[in-house]
Amino acid sequence: MPRMLPDGRRLGAHLPLAGGMVRAVNRAAEIGADAIQVFADNPTAWRRRETPPSEQPAFRARLADLGIGPVAIHAAYLVNLAGPDEGFFGRSVDVLSSDLRAAPGFRARFVNVHIGSHRGSGVTAGTQRLADGLALTLAEVDGGPDAALVVMENSAGSGFGLGVDIVELAGIMDAAVARGVSADRLGFCLDTAHAWAAGIDISEPAAIDEFIDEFETRIGLEKLVMIHLNDSKSERGSHLDRHEHLGAGQIGAVGLGHLLRHPALAHATFYLETPGMDEGYDAVNVARAHAIAAGARLDDLPPEAFELRSDRSRTGPGA
């Protein structure tokens, strides 16, 4: 299978750091990934480590040696800057700014964060709250040349999730800029499984083209810096976020292949968040991405492949 994607675009995977940080970089190279996404700390806890992991300098050196990047840090799942609860909002600002301050130590260009939920307070209120949260967060973080972008990920739309379509994503960018946030510090991530769950027909080239055109018109495609390339176990529009192996789910190889080859997306880095990263399916899905991009036939997966988890909850770095 060809090891290069069209137009030199880069493909990474979310890999666990718990088994060793250098080992994770070696694994990325071994499976043919160009880039890597990681958790900087426990993704399901508010508590952040006080000192960087001891392996961090070796991690940075190995990334440079093997030419692996860009690195994305996936922020804690708990972060919600769009909700009305004051205590939750304050903790979200703290933990997101902590992940952003940690980013240069990981050589990370992106800190990817879920846009969050307005919790029933409405899209307008949620968007304003998020803009306030971004302003407060970024005021806590040095914006120098090594600073990571805050990369906001589209929502599957369950539980009052904000950022389900271009109108809401554009509204978020406009509100943040109006609040005084520099657009240079912000970007977006398109999670294909979330878009599908939110009702966007990412299985259809024509619908993808329409989405991309609208993104360019309302936001600017240079702001679409990350793509979470996932297939989905769920029905379109179901609001259920359940990732599947590439080409083996409801989205399928036609839509995913259109994204992987789309000339307007060559600048974006694609990251897999597919099931079974700890069980060898990291390599399987990188190979499937290359096959899909090349329009090649995909191998059938064994039944046990469909029982694997994709929640990636055990994968922060050790000491």
Contact set with Zn ion (CB under 5 A): 191, 228, 241, 273
Task: State the minimum distance, in angstroms, from the CB of residue 242 to Zn ion.
Answer: 8
CA gyration radius, the chain: 18
Classified as helix, coil or strand, 259 is helix
Helix axes 123-139, 166-178, angle to 10 degrees: 50
DSSP labels for 144-192?
Answer: STTPPEEEEEPP---TTBS--SHHHHHHHHHHHHHTT--GGGEEEEEEH
Task: State the minimum distance, in angstroms, from the CB of residue 311 to Zn ion.
Answer: 9
C-alpha 257/C-alpha 202 separation (Å) is 10
Give 42 or 154: the residue with its C-beta nearer to Zn ion. 154
Task: State the minimum distance, in angstroms, from the CB of residue 125 to Zn ion.
Answer: 24
Task: State the minimum distance, in angstroms, from the CB of residue 187 to Zn ion.
Answer: 14
Task: State the minimum distance, in angstroms, from the CB of residue 230 to Zn ion.
Answer: 7
- Only one residue has tokens 């990325």, namely 28
**8 A C-beta contact, residue 317 and residue 60:** no
Which two structure tokens, joined as six digits, stand for 84?
Answer: 């009305």
Task: State the minimum distance, in angstroms, from the CB of residue 142 to Zn ion.
Answer: 27
Task: State the minimum distance, in angstroms, from the CB of residue 64 to Zn ion.
Answer: 26
Helices (H), ranges, 219-280: 253-261
Give 127 or 155: the residue with its C-beta nearer to Zn ion. 155
Give 34 or 191: the residue with its C-beta nearer to Zn ion. 191
**8 A C-beta contact, residue 135 and residue 179:** yes
C-alpha 46/C-alpha 81 separation (Å) is 14
Give 55 or 191: the residue with its C-beta nearer to Zn ion. 191
Helix (H) or strand (E) holding 36: strand 35-38
